[in-house]
């Protein structure tokens, strides 16, 4: 009888050992899969970031071209550029007393605009 109990306990221990080994194998496989998925996601994220950075550079380049074109067209038509109008607005702002340097820059911008406008009218 004692031998039967020991044999039953041994069979139970072997079954438990088998289940635990199976569980370890399953968890190792799952871990490998998760690590692979994480690396894949990281690679995709890095690729997406690189693509977005490239798109940002392209859009910045296009914006710079459009801005230059706009300023050229405004100048050709005799209009006031954004930079010149900003300098003049800063010098004429009623809430702040502008320095002599700011006034001089605004006057130079206004004078340059005036001569460009007159040249545009003659064309």
The CA-CA-CA angle for residues 60, 76, 72, to 5°, reads: 10
C-alpha–C-alpha distance, residues 121 and 95, integer Å: 35
Q: Are 88 and 110 in contact (CB under 8 A)?
A: yes
- Enumerate the domain spans of the chain: 1-55
With a cut of 90, say whether residue 110 has pLDDT above it.
Answer: no
Question: Which tokens belong to 32?
Answer: 């490998």
Each residue's pLDDT tens digit, 55-96 = 999 999 999 999 899 888 887 777 788 888 888 888 888 888
Using pLDDT thresholds of 50, 70 and 90, give the confidence band for residue 123.
low
- Statement: residue 108 has pLDDT above 80: yes
Nearest Cα neighbor of 103 from 85, 114, 87 is 87
Task: Report the distance separating Cα 44 and Cα 92, nearest Å.
Answer: 53
Q: Residue 46: what pLDDT?
A: 94
Distance (Å, rounded) from C-alpha 15 to C-alpha 88? 89
Q: Each residue of 1-45: pLDDT tens digit?
A: 788 888 999 999 999 999 999 999 999 999 999 999 999 999 999
Give the pLDDT confidence score for residue 117 in this predicted structure.
Answer: 74
């Amino acid at each position: 009888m004692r031998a039967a109990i020991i044999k039953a306990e041994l069979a139970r221990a072997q079954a438990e050992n088998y289940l635990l080994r199976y569980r370890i194998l399953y968890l190792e496989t799952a871990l490998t899969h998760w690590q692979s998925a994480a690396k894949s996601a990281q690679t995709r994220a890095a690729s997406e970031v690189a693509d977005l950075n490239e798109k940002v550079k392209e859009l910045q380049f296009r914006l710079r071209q459009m801005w230059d074109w706009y300023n050229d067209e405004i100048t050709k038509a005799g209009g006031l550029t954004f930079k010149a109008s900003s300098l003049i607005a800063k010098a004429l702002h009623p809430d702040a007393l502008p320095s002599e340097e700011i006034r001089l820059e605004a006057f130079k911008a206004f004078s340059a605009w005036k001569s460009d406008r007159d040249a545009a009218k003659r064309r």
